[in-house]
Amino acid sequence: MSARRHLRAGLRIGRAEYVRSVRRYVGDARRILGLVVVALCFSWVLLFSIPAGFVFGRTASAVVENPFFGPAATAIPIGLVLLATLRTVERIGSIDAADLVLLTVHPRAIVIGLITAEIARLATWFGLPAIAVVAAFALGLGAPWLVVTGGLVMVPLVCVTAVWGYAVGIAILRALRRVPRARRILHVGWLLAVVGLVVGSQFLARYLVDGGAQVRSIASTLALAPLADYLALAFVGTPLARPMSIGAVGVLFALLALTPVGLAVATRLAAGLWFSDGTREGGTRQTKTVSGGFRPPRPFAWTKSGRIAWGQLVRAVRHPQDLSHLVMILFVAAPLAPTVVGTSGERLGVLLAGTGVGFGTYVAGAAFGLNPLGDDRPQVPLLVLSGTDPRTFVRGRLLAGLAMGAPVAVLVPLATVAIGTDPLDGLAFAAVGIGTCLAAGQFALGIGAAYPIYEERQFWGSETVVPSTLVMMTYSFVVGSGTMIALFVTWFAVTGHLTATVLVAAGLSVYLLLTAGISYGSYRYAIRRYRRYTVD
């Protein structure tokens, strides 16, 4: 099969993969509802970005001369390679019905198809909003053709970063197959990298604002001039254009030459992954004998719900990818990092106490409650048909979440006493943390049981089920808002700024009744869903 036929077959595979992914969303009413909610939640970003882009275009005079243009131009290909690597390890490291497809077409065609489909998916999600902002900037600049020139400049860059990122991702998957124990190290490393990236970005933003000349000096050092000159070609024919340099032309030819080379490397690595069996570490399989059975420690061993909770915790330790959805809290808590570092005295203790309560409350419900029916696949039919009351399974998940979140919500406020927080204030925040953790755990079980997700997907080379995005966003908004109200009321109460009036008493009564009623109602609904579970 010639290269042209490989390309034609790859484009057909890419089109089929993209259409199938679109139909997967369009064919499910619940997913459509989730997409609508996500679009509404993030529409305010476009409503702000599009007018801002237009105004920036009207006032822009020398974007390419900005000291941060070079570092940004250097960071773009690095970010694209990392994104391609992540998506390869997470999703497109293999194709469905691989036994049939590999006997039908060349691996090069499959690689082209998978990369093309993923570029189309990402372009649908992020490319369209980006084009809208760039178009607004181009209209403000008076050069609408900037959208076309910018696209022509980005296409070679996207292609070369996509194929080389795919090659790196396939190499990681081959390493994981040869050394299975490295997967756990990779999970921990990925989590630490995300934490460092999210938290570090907050300090970087403040440093960029306050750094001044020192920041400009570092930015000029990190910039790759030829790459910046190449991206500046997007402004050809506009008031922001600058003369074409030899470095820009050299980068263009390098991108065009590295794309087929990267495709060949990716094809060779992918063929080695798809046509070979993984080797086990040590060369032979060793059978481990376990004596004593499953013995949960006290106090988990006292009740059947406690033993179920211990089982959930043990499974989470053995399969940490099942808790990957907890990373969402980092994007909420990261903006607090610079504030915590810049705070001192008694305020630091109160801030840390509130942060501990908020973090523990989120984990108490999100860890095991956002997809109870989906997490127990495929054992759900066996569980609901057993002699154990469904209430016991629900309580087991609730206790498992509390075992993870409540210690943080209680111990962190108490620990702040060592840095100057009043002991009564620490006890007050700890008591509030217990209540918010219990309410969050019950509420999570209800919304998770209402919208279960059973389909597994690849995440860092492992099969796992992630709760629905709609459920996670709803949980984050409701629990985050409720916890913030509880923390503010607690802070006003311990500082003496909360006056006991009829209006305050009525407001607190309504808040407590709504919190307790919605949480307990969600808990009862989760039990009802277990009892009425049917096997299709």
How confident is the model over 303-350, as pLDDT tens digits? 888 888 888 888 888 777 777 777 777 766 666 666 666 566 667 778
pLDDT digits (tens, 9 = 90+) for 468-527: 777 888 898 899 889 999 988 888 888 777 777 888 889 889 989 999 999 999 999 998
- Of the pLDDT bands very low, low, confident and very high (cuts 50, 70, 90), residue 284 is very low
Q: What is the DSSP letter of 463?
A: E
How confident is the model at residue 513, as a pLDDT? 93
pLDDT digits (tens, 9 = 90+) for 23-40: 877 776 766 776 776 677
How confident is the model at residue 340, as a pLDDT? 62
Instruction: Please calculate the CA angle 144-150-152 and round it to the nearest 5 degrees.
Output: 115
- More confident: 459 or 12: 12
- More confident: 389 or 521: 521
* Distance separating alpha carbons of residues 194 and 162, to the nearest angstrom: 21
- More confident: 467 or 192: 467
| Of 59-68, 237-246, 353-362, minimum mean pLDDT range | 59-68
Closest CA to 85 of 179, 3, 23, 176: 176
Residues in contact with 256: Cβ distance below 8 Å, sequence separation at least 6, in sequence order:
156
Residue percentage of the chain with pLDDT more than 70: 79
* Distance separating alpha carbons of residues 502 and 279, to the nearest angstrom: 71
What distances in angstroms separate CA 303 from CA 296, 297, 313, 407, 523, one per listed residue?
10, 11, 15, 20, 19
pLDDT at residue 381 tops 80: no
- Categorise residue 460: left if φ over 0, alpha if ψ from -120 to 50, beta otherwise: left
Overall average pLDDT of the 383-405 stretch: 84
* Distance separating alpha carbons of residues 529 and 509, to the nearest angstrom: 30
Overall average pLDDT of the 438-445 stretch: 93
How confident is the model at residue 318, as a pLDDT? 79
Overall average pLDDT of the 524-533 stretch: 85
pTM above 0.75, yes or no: no
| Of 27-31, 131-135, 268-272, minimum mean pLDDT range | 27-31
Closest CA to 88 of 19, 155, 163: 163
